[in-house]
Amino acid sequence: MVLGLALGLSVQAQEFQGIAVYQSKTSSAEMKERFANDKNMTPDRQKQIEERMKSMFEKTFILNFDKTASIYKEEEKLDAPGQGGDGRMKMMSSMMGAGGTMYKNVKDKNYTVDKEFMGKDFLVKDSLVKLNWKMEGESRVIGGYNCFKATAVIAMNETDLGNFRPRSDEEKRKEDAAEKEKKTSLLDQIKAPTERVVTAWYSPEIPVNQGPDKYWGLPGLILEINDGKTVILCSKVVLNPKEKASIKAATNGKLINQKDYDATVVKKIKEYRDNNPRPAGGPGGGGGRR
């Protein structure tokens, strides 16, 4: 009888699953200001750009998780008519990894994510980055769950969209003058990488060390992440849903590690920028060679 009960509890633990729905919002104030200051842009075109930017920077993601692994994927939805976007918008959307599925295995400490970048499919597989979380001792309630605050310092790199910003005309003149005799940077339109502080709120009431996107490693499900540019907030949690998800890594795409994938992205951005220079008319112009 005792053995049967133990086996039953073991099976239940193995079958445990949960679903968390997250709303992700990334600040786009700088881009909105640049488009708003473009005198050549019509009101209709500006409205179209703003709608496209909203779809890029405000998204819903679903996290399916069990005791050891999870899959994190953007909620599928159709684009509204007329939201095709221009080349720069499509480029940025591609860099945000739309449509990809991130698989994290916290037991084996690895991850797999399928990405489509500029028409090519990649399968990025690598080890999870260990985050040195600092417990801050603060608490709050999110969605009825008691949560605690933790922070970590994370290095940004060239492919982090949250670090992207076109140079102002004044910045461009000064930097171009200073580097006239030097080799042009691969990403001279992008701010230099910096470190940032990430704030997480996790709940020990959901005892899995999972979280949205690349975040993990806390003694409870991460319900909110704020990196200063993007806020990812959990809006719904369902434990032990009736329908179980298949929590497995994707298998399609060119196998590559994170370092090599980042190098590929940097190279392609340079090629794209060189072949599609920003026109004199500003952000709303056509671009490209004629």
Residue 105 has pLDDT above 80, yes or no: yes
Q: Tell me what pLDDT residue 221 has.
A: 98
* C-alpha closest to that of 21 among 139, 143, 131, 161: 143
Residue 238 has pLDDT above 70, yes or no: yes
Average pLDDT over residues 190-201: 77
Alpha-carbon distance of 61 to 210, in angstroms, equals 14
Alpha-carbon distance of 79 to 149, in angstroms, equals 36
Average pLDDT over residues 268-277: 75
Mean pLDDT of the chain, nearest integer: 77
Compare 51 and 100 and report the one with higher pLDDT.
100
Q: Calculate what percentage of the chain has a pLDDT beyond 90.
A: 47
Least confident of 29-33, 69-73, 96-100, 166-170: 166-170
Compare 130 and 98 and report the one with higher pLDDT.
130
Residue 1 has pLDDT above 80, yes or no: no
Least confident of 141-145, 206-210, 283-287: 283-287
Residue 93 has pLDDT above 80, yes or no: no
Q: Are strands 69-74 and 195-203 parallel, antiparallel or unpaired?
A: unpaired
Average pLDDT over residues 89-109: 73
Give 273's DSSP letter: H
Q: Tell me what pLDDT residue 283 has.
A: 47
Average pLDDT over residues 196-210: 96
Alpha-carbon distance of 85 to 23, in angstroms, equals 22
Looking at 23-62, list the stretches that DSSP marks H as alpha helix, in order from N- to C-terminal side: 29-36, 43-57
Write the CA distances from 174 to 170, 171, 189, integer angstroms.
6, 5, 13
Segment 33-87, tens digit of pLDDT: 555 556 666 777 666 666 666 667 789 999 999 999 999 999 876 655 554 445 5
pLDDT band at 270 (very low <50, low <70, confident <90, very high): confident
pLDDT band at 30 (very low <50, low <70, confident <90, very high): low
Map out the domains of the chain as residue ranges.
16-275
Residue 141 has pLDDT above 70, yes or no: yes
Q: Tell me what pLDDT residue 202 has.
A: 98
Average pLDDT over residues 107-115: 95
Least confident of 103-117, 130-144, 171-185, 245-259: 171-185
Is the four-CA dihedral 113, 86, 272, 185 of positive or negative sign? negative
Q: Tell me what pLDDT residue 39 has.
A: 61
Residue 247 has pLDDT above 70, yes or no: yes
